[in-house]
Structure 1
Amino acid sequence: MECWRLDDGRQTLALAMRAGGLPEVIYWGPPLPDSEDLAVIARAGEIDMTGGMLDRTPPLSICPEAAQSFPGQPGLVLHAEDGAPLLPAFRFEAAETGDGTLALVSRDTALGLTLTARFAIDRGTHILTATTALAADAPVRLHWLAAPVLPAPQLSDEMIDLAGRWCGEFQPIRTPWSPGIRLRENRTGRTGHEHFPGLIVPGRGATHTGGEAWGFHYGWSGGHRMIAEELPDGRRQIQWGHAPGTERTPATRFETAPLYAVYSAKGLNGCAVSFQRHLRDRIVTWARPDAPRPVHYNCWEAVYFDHDLEELKDIATRAARLGAERFVLDDGWFGTRDDYTTSLGDWTIDPRKYPDGLTPLIDHIHGLGMTFGLWFEPEMINTDSAAFRAHPDWRLGAADQIPGRQQYVLDMSRDDVREELFGQISALLGRYAIDYIKWDHNRVLPYPDAAQTRGTHALLDRLRAAFPTVEIESCASGGGRIDFGILGRTQRLWLSDSNDALERLRMQADAAMFLPAAVTGSHVGPRTCHTSGRILDISFRAWVAAMRHMGFEMDPRELTDHEADVLARVTAWWTDNRGWLMTADIHRLDSPDPAIIAEQHISRDGGQFVVFAGRAASSAQIAPRPLRLTGLDPEASYEITLLNRDDVTGLSRGQPALKAGAEIVSSRYLMSHGISLPWAFPGSIWVVNGRR
């Protein structure tokens, strides 16, 4: 028996190889003592056998094998080039260990296959990263390859994964563990609104702020599959990989995307903070690392396709007065693009709208002290375009497929397609002072295809190398392409096309299980939301946007003087505090009132925090329940201040201390009793600042 372990001070991952087969995870949880004998652990963890079982328990290895009579889903489904099924039986060959890294190599000599599982542990973020690679001596057809398979805890009653839809992303789904499979499979070809590739497995009794939890994220921008399976003998396994069948051609090498995983002894927030930090500090490559995150203004919901230079200048001037620092020109500037039906693929400036090009608008925006960003949808094409008329064969999929929003997908696996797109986009980036690209993706693929995803990644990589200071936002009808794979090539994401602050309040809180504030765009929308029809107060809209990377997306000409003043004041607060906010950890609070969605942003040094307590509905009881805080220095006291006391309504008739001014209390009180907030209407928010 050979054994290995990876440690980061917060967790231990231990593996063992028994009888020459594939290694398996024998422990994943709180740190084991350095002196722990892993061989003893491996033997101690073996399960008993009884009637109805085989004479030896098939191993739940890092790639469970069908050839081993494994009673659950195998980690590899493979065929020969002629389509004949292959049933590998791997034998362990070698291990390579490094500082926080481990590579385990196994081989099936008869079939000419080599399986390599790689693990790395980050002692700063506590994220485990794992990949599986398959090499073949001759071309084979891959149906399914799982990243290294990890066990799920036994003392867990449910799992939490995330579903969604357009304007309703990041909806938590709680599923009880039971014999059989919880299978989530994305066949849309992009990450998808419907199936965010993330999973949280809470230990029994875990909450946001306490208890054990295990977290998983598969960092891939294409179709994916998640399997959470309880075997007949009670063991549980978690598998992640590309959607089956998306490797469409035989090859001699395949590799999964990285699986990111973490154990937490501090509730769901422990997983969330690790994912937030790892994405922000390890995966995102910032275009201008030392520059503050700028306040955005996006013109889409102000003008849509109706671009008029003088109107846009006026809008930009008003946005700058409110505090905007970047102006993004959205869809409608290219080809003859007056609606959704035309010009995708023709990335040349519309001379009808911009007879002198973009220079007059950009010069005006620069004169206001703002930078300039531009919208693209490079992976798409309209049949009414010069590009399609010249290259109808560039369309991905059949000619009679169902269009989406009158558009089709370009085949990004083709070198000539990527070359043409790079030429058109780089020509604009080279000619104009463009600091930012909003990269959209407004329809699903006709079928999932891993080569399509790799092609998009390759184009993004080439553009980033050629224009390293240009920031890119990932948008796909809002949150349709959000994952650590795309965020290794972009610096911002558009969480949802919904600018409804009430919907955003819930979405942002649930997305924070994986996403930090610095990459999560959030905009103050119009008074009447364009996607929900709801009318919400400007203070609520502004503070909800200030919970993430702040921006505006409305016609500023609609604002009353009062609304403009509120928006400018909240924006000024955000810019004054963004230096620590954009590196803060987001902790979801365990609210005793289900009507309250609350989170606490804590600076990296623990010296300050801000609590956002949003009221999403009416409460069952009359008075607000105290809201417990979390993650504070247990020996410190904090001065806490209600930042938006002006929002107190006449129906709030009592005298909670926060209504009168700042108060100084111990962290023990704040974390055991909590803060008492004033009464408020639904669709409102309290913002509390704290300083040690």
Structure 2
Amino acid sequence: MSQFWRLDGPVQTLILSAEQERLPQVIYWGPPLPASEDCAALAAAHAMDITGGMLDTNPELSICPEASQSFPGQPGLICRDVQGRVLRPNFRFAQELTQDISLCLTYADKDLGLTYEAHFELTASSNMLTCWSCLEATQPLILNWLAAPVFPAPQLSDTMMSFSGRWIGEFQPNSIPWRPGIHKRESRTGRSGHEHFPGLILPEVGARNTTGRAYGFHYGWSGGHQMIAEELPDGRRQIQFGHACDSHNGLAQSFETAKLYAVFSDKGLNGCGTAFQRHLREHILTFPKASLPRPVHYNCWEAIYFDHDLGSLKDIATRAKKLGAERFVLDDGWFGRRDDDSSSLGDWQIDPRKYPNGLDPLVDHVTSLGMQFGLWVEPEMVNPDSNLFRAHPDWILGPKDQLLGRQQMVLDLARMEVITYLYDCVSTLLETYNISYLKWDHNRILPLFDVAQTEGIYALLARLRAAFPHVEIESCASGGGRIDFGVLQQCQRVWLSDSNDALERSHIQHGAALFLPSLVTGSHVGPRRCHTSGRVFDMRYRAWVAAQRHMGFEMDPRELEAQEAQVLTEVTQWYKDNRDWLATADILRLDTADPSVLGEMQLAVDGSRFVVFSNQLDSAQQILPRPLCLTELDPEARYMLRLRNRDEASNLSRGAPLLKSQDLQASGAWLMTHGLHLPYAMPGSIWVVEGRKL
């Protein structure tokens, strides 16, 4: 008996095939196939030969590879019974539920009392496959590993692109060659993590940002993940994603993976990036008022740190408003007796020493300026030096003698009384003050990772959002330590990094663009001398880097010279003038012939306009700039291009390239093939080219 299932979208087809009611395998995933394609013939053609040193039948690389089928690689399920005996299920077909864009397949092992479900959904508008697995048991068991539905990796890929990082250095791409055996990557810190972003891109040979075929994956989970990329002895390859191994603490009977988002692209890495951007924007994010433009953000952290003074804060807010800010966020230091990071986490009451009349005087001043008021919180954490810890030392996650992180510990969100306490604290603030924004921080890794902890924070955020739907929440975890599509079901912004170094930000933003759209990605203009790197950048560079995403400021506006304030005000106004169409634009990474140039293009959803950012990271190896080719334009259409900041040309640009003095009209074909000749650029500067379709 043969079974086939097929999901079709505008740019991809997925076909599953099963024999003898066993678990199915993916026999095709790639460009669209004709509707008339014979799935039975494809399944027969998918079969491989047998040779010496092999079994008489090749074990199938199914959506949940089974050890009971003599599968030679990593199984998709590892579990034990209450006595610790390894269970090796032999699943057989039970039922299917199919719709046009979704598929649910159920399999059972009646002898072991296990039921396995695999879910697939294809969203045509974003070109996204969303998949997850469920396991039900009639008796409690110990789950070590459950993979989301397993995909084959392409044979024409010679490398895999993953993303590692650290504090102030997130989203660093790593190119890892395929080789026999397992490449395993696991985040065991209890959050998605700076170290291992839960994403993977598999480019086929020759693929670049703008051309070629690539396959992308993202595991939407905030509690730590495991990824396995394995090449079997017979040459087949598999990709598995799931919760970090042994994430489930104790016995249970019901388990479910997070959503695995998978995409095929025939437009290079950008095809993966735009699919992830669109799917997050259109199908996951929910804003309090989606029709309102994204407000320009001001955060006071790098202006005052813990030194809160009402008069100074009012002055800063007034200056920020004059520069163009529309939201003011009061960061750490307003609660308990919080004069540094060693105390008071957990005591979410206003510090009467700093705010004898509460936050009302500051909130009233900010809102009288026409700005929203936002507040920093870190509810999941507690300091040993706090009233909460002294009252409830039993609320701590992990052992009593654990190592501290940033002089703090973690509250156990598997306990309902903890969630209730935190909800009451935060809701009291939101009920008392006119707060429209929360910066929700998470400044240490967990002493142990547990699915219940992540489910607890999801539940707390969901409860707060239901009660206060007007409040926007930002996910921050020492910067980019908790960024994934799981937490973004409850949040509307991410703090990409604690680095406000514009050069470092450029790299971080460029890597994150393969998964995140601009409207959710916070990017701030930092101090003249960056507090995390010590480097000094011109205001024009700092401002244009921030304007490429959800723009904000995080410096002391009192330090600005008149010329700096003028530049920042002008760039901020440019952001405001363009943010409506930029909010739904695709971020496209450009292929550059010069490694000293980082090129990006943001293209309106209707293709009518775009902006190009040519970021001169360092001195070029050659004397003059190489042409910069654009992408995704209509080759038959004509476009008008203008160098937005041509007046910023340095005195070393002595020639007369056309864009330096006048606008350019050219076809999309020419712009994508020949490219733009831009004026000479100094390191630490950006050319901004605006384009419109004629």
TM-score by length of 1: 1.00
Moved more, 81-90 or 322-331: 81-90
Report the Cα distance in structure 2 between the residues aligned to 1:42 and 1:347, rounded to whole angstroms: 61
1:320 is the counterpart of 2:338: no
Native 8 Å contact 1:23 1:92 kept in 2: no
What are the superposed Cα offsets for residues 140-159 of structure 1, whole Å, 9 maximum, x if unpaired? 11000000000000011111
5 Å-filtered alignment, 1:359-508, equals 359-508=360-509
The 3-state SS of whatever aligns with 1:169 is: strand
Q: Structure 1 residue 224 and structure 2 residue 225: aligned?
A: yes
Give the SS at the match of 1:216: strand
Residue 583 of structure 1 is matched in structure 2 by 584
- The 8 Å contact of residues 89 and 108 in structure 1, kept in 2 or not, is answered as yes
Question: Deviation per CA, 1:71-108, whole angstroms, max 9, x where unpaired?
Answer: 10000000002211111111112211112000111100
Give the superposition deviation at 1:197: 0.2
**Partner of residue 330, structure 2:** 329
* Farther-moved stretch of structure 1 (282-291 vs 190-199): 282-291
Structure 2: which amino acid aligns with 1:300? W
Per the TM alignment, residue 348 of structure 1 is displaced from its structure 2 partner at its CA by: 0.5
- The Cα of 1:492 is off from its aligned counterpart by 0.1
Q: Distance in 1 between matches of 2:112 and 2:5?
A: 27
Query: Could you say which residue in structure 2 is the equivalent of 1:240?
Result: 241
Gaps of 5+ in 1: none
Q: Distance in 2 between matches of 1:249 and 1:460?
A: 25
Structure 2 equivalent of residue 276 of structure 1: 277
Measured in 1, the distance between the counterparts of 2:682 and 2:449 equals 45
- Provide the secondary structure at the position in 2 that maps to 1:670: helix
**Deviations along 1:264-284, whole A, 9 cap, x unmatched?**
011100010000000011001
Does 2:169 match 1:165? Answer: no
User: By how many angstroms is 1:252 displaced?
Assistant: 0.9
Tell me if the contact between 2:187 and 2:244 (Cα under 8 Å) persists in the aligned partners.
Answer: yes
Is 1:346 equivalent to 2:347 in the alignment?
A: yes
* Matched AA of 2:66: E
Q: Distance in 1 between matches of 2:3 and 2:75?
A: 23
AA aligned opposite 1:498? S
> Structure 2: how far apart are the matches of 1:260 and 1:591?
29
Matches within 5 A, 1:115-194: 115-194=116-195
Q: 2-side partners of 1:689 and 1:545: how far apart? A: 17
Aligned partners of 1:582 and 1:618: how far apart in 2?
Answer: 32
- Measured after TM superposition, the shift of residue 487 of structure 1 is 0.4
CA distance in 2, matches of 1:471, 1:649: 41
Structure 2, unaligned runs of 5 or more: none
On the 8 A contact 1:163/1:170 being kept in 2, the answer is yes
CA distance in 1, matches of 2:662, 2:197: 42
Please state how far the C-alpha of 1:661 moved relative to its aligned partner: 2.1
- C-alpha separation in 2, matches of 1:227 and 1:481: 21
Structure 2 SS opposite 1:601: strand
Q: Secondary structure at the match of 2:607?
A: coil
Mapped to 1, the partners of 2:586 and 2:498 lie a distance apart of 25
Look up the match of 2:58: 57
TM-superposed deviation, 1:67: 1.0
Offset from partner CA, 1:27-83 (integer Å, 9 cap, x none): 000011100111110110111010000011011000000111111000000000221
Q: 1:441 & 1:341 partners in 2: Cα distance?
A: 15
Question: Equivalents in 2 of 1:240, 1:665: separation in Å?
Answer: 45
Match for residue 209 of structure 1? 210
Instruction: Report Cα offsets for 1:591-647 as digits up to 9, x if no partner.
Output: 000000110000011000000110111111010000000011121111111111121
Aligned twin of 2:685: 684
Counterpart Cα distance in 1 of 2:9 and 2:539? 45
Match of 1:607 in 2: 608
1:663 Cα deviation from its structure 2 partner: 1.5
The residue that corresponds to 1:310 in the other structure is 311
For the residue of structure 2 that corresponds to 1:170, the secondary structure is strand
Residue 249 of structure 1, CA deviation = 1.6
Matched, 1:652 2:653: yes
CA distance in 1, matches of 2:555, 2:107: 57
- 2:3–2:21: 8 Å Cα contact kept in structure 1? no
Partner of 2:23: helix, strand, or coil?
coil
Does residue 267 (structure 1) correspond to residue 268 (structure 2)? The answer is: yes
Does the 8 A contact of 2:314 with 2:365 survive in 1? yes
Q: Which amino acid aligns with 2:158?
A: D
Question: In the aligned structure 2, how far is the partner of 1:285 from the partner of 1:397?
Answer: 34
TM-score (norm 2): 0.99
The separation in 2 between residues aligned to 1:208 and 1:605, in whole angstroms, is: 21
Pairwise CA distance, 1:345: 0.2
Task: Give, in angstroms, the shift of residue 680 of structure 1.
Answer: 1.1
For the residues of structure 1 that align with 2:596 and 2:182, how far apart are their CA atoms? 33
Counterpart secondary structure, 2:615: strand
Deviations 1:522-542 (A, max 9, x none): 000000000000000000000
**Equivalent AA in structure 1 for residue 645 of structure 2:** N
Alignment correspondent of 1:544: 545
- Aligned equivalents of 2:62, 2:450: Cα separation in 1: 28
Matched residue SS, 2:169: coil
User: 2:270 is matched by which residue type in structure 1?
Assistant: N
CA contact (8 A) 1:218 1:257 kept: yes
> SS of the residue aligned with 1:599?
strand
Give the counterpart letter for 1:78 in structure 2.
Answer: C
Q: Deviations over 1:552-600 (max 9, x none)?
A: 0000000000000000000000001000011100000000000001100
Secondary structure of 1:493's counterpart equals strand
Residue type of the partner of 2:165? G
Aligned positions, number: 692
Partner of 2:45: 44
Runs ≥4 in structure 1, deviation > 2 angstroms? none
Q: Does structure 1 retain, via aligned residues, the 8 Å contact 2:413–2:456? A: yes
- State the alpha-carbon separation in 2 of the partners of residues 159 and 411 from structure 1: 36
- Residue by residue, what CA displacement relative to the aligned partner does 1:108-150 show, whole Å, maximum 9, x if unpaired? 0000000000000001001000000000011111000000000
